[in-house]
């Protein structure tokens, strides 16, 4: 079936110069199914409301690099930028620039989904994606080894944004938000995993003058001088059904007046105290399958985890991942004395 689909695309590419099928413009890494081999070419060819579908006709995985595949600009159009289902498509910015910059005019009908963003870097914030006065949806993406002064992976200013089912690993910021930094924004984060990210303020996320709704996320093994998981300034938040664990250098949540409930909070180096209005939380080891493994580890839950629905008082799934391994014990790694003490608080 897949082969037939590729042949159809190839025939369309041969006879139709714009390669548009039902408002879809294809970008093909291999140059077989489309004349567009760079992502910006597909974006430029698309119209408002179209989908730009990125693919490798020979199945991938494929990594897009170089000019035309970074510093991508929607040009004020609203569109979906997506990966052909099931393919592994990465954008490697090679520490030269960020992947995507969106500005005024990009609204919630825009959607970025399915990509792995690698090695993005921006000196003005938002190592992989920066959204200024825009509100795209971002889903099912992986952000790895991106960096910036603020928002190692994503920076948001003055716009409501939804981030869903994404993985943030190894991102860093020299100031705010190892993975995500939001200023004057409404942000909803759900089903996301944050591991081994770091910043001075907010190893995972940092919020300034913003409102955060975070549901069923796992934040573990992140580092921040002020807030290993989340840092707030002049912001409000609801944090529900999240794992906030094994943070390094600070309390997991710092500042603000968040309401934190139905969460599992454990093993944070400077303590598990929560600001704001915490209630109905567990202070038990979440029992993650492989916290310190390669590529951010395995944040799934051991079968004896209190975060599974049959093991906590609320019959709720806590964290971004379901059961992924048999019974296990606490993770083990070389630790400071502060970390060891935190495990027994």
Structure confidence at residue 159 (pLDDT): 84
With a cut of 60, say whether residue 336 has pLDDT above it. no
pLDDT for 280 equals: 97
Above 90 in pLDDT, residue 219? yes
CA distance 33 to 10: 4
Residue 294 pLDDT more than 90?
no
pLDDT at 17 exceeding the cut of 70: no
Question: Which of 102-106, 202-206, 210-214 is predicted least confidently?
Answer: 102-106
Give residue 43's pLDDT.
Answer: 97
103 has pLDDT over 70: yes
Q: What is the pLDDT of residue 292?
A: 84
Q: Say whether pLDDT at 203 is over 50.
A: yes
Starting at the edge strand that comes first in sequence, how are the strands of the sheet with 253-254 ordered?
Answer: 72-73, 100-102, 129-132, 154-157, 180-183, 205-208, 230-233, 253-254
Residue 172 has pLDDT above 70, yes or no: yes
Q: How far apart are CA 154 and CA 116, in angstroms?
A: 13
Nearest to 211 by CA among 230, 191, 195: 230
The ranges assigned to domains in the chain are: 1-92, 112-342
What helix, strand, coil percent values describe the chain, rounded to 5?
10, 40, 50
Task: Give me the pLDDT at residue 12, please.
Answer: 40
Average of pLDDT values for 302-325? 97
CA-atom Rg of the chain in angstroms: 21
Q: Length of the chain in residues, anyone? A: 345
- For residue 118, how many other CB atoms are within 10 A of its CB? 21
Q: State what percent of residues in the chain have pLDDT above 90.
A: 79
Specify the pLDDT at position 16: 40
Q: What is the pLDDT of residues 110-168, one digit of tens each?
A: 999 999 999 999 999 999 999 999 889 999 999 999 999 999 999 999 889 999 999 99
Task: State yes or no: pLDDT of 10 exceeds 90.
Answer: no
pLDDT bucket at 331, cuts 50 / 70 / 90? low
pTM of the entire predicted model: 0.90
Segment among 41-45, 230-234, 296-300 with least mean pLDDT: 296-300
Q: Specify the pLDDT at position 13.
A: 43
When pLDDT is cut at 50, 70 and 90, the band that residue 340 belongs to is very low
* Model confidence at 97: pLDDT above 70: yes
| Segment 36-42 mean pLDDT | 97
What's residue 329's pLDDT?
84
Here the tokens at position 253 are 């949540």
Whether residue 35 has pLDDT greater than 60: yes
8: confidence class by pLDDT, cuts 50, 70, 90: very low
pLDDT of residue 60: 85
């Amino acid at each position: 079936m897949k082969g037939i689909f590729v042949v159809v695309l190839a025939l369309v590419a041969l006879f139709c110069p714009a390669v548009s099928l039902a408002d879809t413009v294809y970008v093909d890494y291999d140059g077989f199914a489309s004349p567009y081999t760079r992502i910006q070419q597909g974006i430029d060819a698309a119209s408002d409301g179209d989908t730009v579908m990125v693919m490798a006709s020979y199945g991938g995985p494929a990594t897009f690099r170089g000019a035309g595949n970074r510093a991508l600009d929607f040009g004020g159009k609203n569109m979906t930028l997506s990966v052909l289902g099931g393919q592994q498509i990465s954008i490697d910015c090679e520490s030269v620039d960020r992947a995507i910059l969106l500005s005024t005019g990009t609204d919630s009908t825009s959607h970025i989904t399915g990509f792995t963003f690698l090695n993005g870097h921006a000196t003005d914030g938002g190592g992989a994606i920066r959204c200024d006065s825009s509100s795209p949806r971002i889903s099912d993406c992986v952000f790895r080894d991106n960096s910036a002064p603020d928002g190692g992976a994503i920076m948001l200013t003055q716009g409501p944004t939804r981030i869903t089912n994404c993985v943030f690993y190894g991102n860093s910021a020299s100031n705010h938000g190892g993975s995500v930094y939001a200023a004057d924004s409404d942000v909803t984060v759900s089903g996301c995993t944050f591991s081994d990210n770091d910043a001075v303020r907010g190893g995972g996320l940092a919020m300034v003058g913003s409102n955060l709704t975070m549901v069923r996320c796992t934040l573990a093994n992140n580092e921040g001088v002020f807030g290993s998981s989340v840092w707030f300034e002049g912001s409000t938040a609801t944090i529900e059904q999240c794992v906030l664990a094994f943070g390094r250098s600070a309390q997991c949540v710092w500042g603000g007046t968040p309401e934190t409930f139905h969460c599992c909070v454990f093993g944070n180096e400077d303590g598990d105290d929560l600001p704001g209005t915490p209630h109905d939380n567990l202070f038990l080891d979440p029992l993650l399958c492989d916290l310190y493994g390669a590529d951010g580890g395995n944040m799934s839950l051991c079968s004896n985890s209190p975060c599974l629905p049959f093991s906590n008082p609320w019959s709720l799934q806590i964290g971004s991942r379901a059961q992924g391994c048999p019974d296990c014990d606490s993770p083990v790694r070389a630790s400071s004395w502060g970390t060891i003490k935190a495990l027994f608080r």
